[in-house]
C-alpha cells in the first residue's frame, strides 16, 4: 500500500466516520476523530454484517483492500451512540 492509497483510505474512513457522527448528533472531535470512527465503524459494521448474514451494498476497493462503506457508516453510528450513551457527553443543550 502506497502513501496515496493510505491517504485515500483515510479520507474515505473520515467521511464515513463523520456521517456516523452526524446520524447520532455527536459533534466533538475533528477530522482525526472522524477518521478513527470510520475505521472502528468498519470493524464493527463488518462484524455485524457477518453476524446477521447481510450483504454489502457498497464496497470500495482501495489498493486491493475492500472497504465496506455502508456498514462502516452504520458501525460508526452505533459506536458513537454507545460512547455517547456511556459517557453522557455530546448532548445538545438548548
pLDDT in tens, the chain (94 residues): 788 888 888 888 888 888 888 888 876 777 888 888 888 888 888 888 889 998 888 888 877 877 888 888 888 888 888 888 888 765 555 4
Q: Give residue 94's pLDDT.
A: 47
Residue 67 main-chain phi, psi, to 5 deg: -120, 115
Q: What are the distances in angstroms from CA 13 to CA 42, 53, 61, 63?
A: 8, 23, 13, 14
Residues 6+ apart with CB under 8 A from 34: 14, 15, 17, 18, 21
Q: Give residue 87's pLDDT.
A: 80
In the block, cell 452504520 appears at: 74
CB distance 80 to 21 below 8 Å: yes
Helix (H) and strand (E) counts for the chain?
Answer: 3, 2
Q: Give residue 93's pLDDT.
A: 53
Query: What pTM, to 2 d.p., does this model score?
Result: 0.79
Amino acid at each position: 500500500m502506497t502513501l496515496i492509497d493510505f491517504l485515500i483510505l483515510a479520507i474515505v474512513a473520515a467521511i464515513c466516520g463523520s456521517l456516523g457522527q452526524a446520524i447520532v448528533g455527536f459533534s466533538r472531535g475533528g477530522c482525526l476523530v472522524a477518521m478513527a470512527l470510520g475505521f472502528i465503524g468498519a470493524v464493527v459494521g463488518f462484524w455485524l454484517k457477518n453476524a446477521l448474514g447481510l450483504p454489502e451494498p457498497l464496497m470500495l476497493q482501495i489498493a486491493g483492500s475492500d472497504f465496506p462503506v455502508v456498514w462502516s457508516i452504520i458501525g460508526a453510528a452505533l459506536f458513537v451512540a454507545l460512547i455517547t450513551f456511556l459517557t453522557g457527553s455530546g448532548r445538545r443543550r438548548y
